[in-house]
Amino acid sequence: MRLRLRLEYDGGGFRGWAAQPGLRTVEGALGAAPDRVFPSWSRLAVAGRTDTGVH
């Protein structure tokens, strides 16, 4: 199954997109969420990203 989501968010509370140990990132926050709804979830793929400090 494929899902397409369009997300907008205030990135002020995150340290960029890419998951990094010990830092709150958008990928880290969103990465585990689909597992709760879709147990066979395999991966999160994105078409864009946000660097730290970019709003």
Q: Does 51 participate in catalysis according to the annotation?
A: yes
The pair phi, psi for residue 29, each rounded to 5°, is -70, -40
Tokens of 19: 């998951």
Candidates 20, 46, 51, 52; catalytic one? 51
Of all residues in the chain, what percent are helix, strand and coil, respectively (each to 5)? 25, 0, 75
Q: Which residues are catalytic?
A: 51
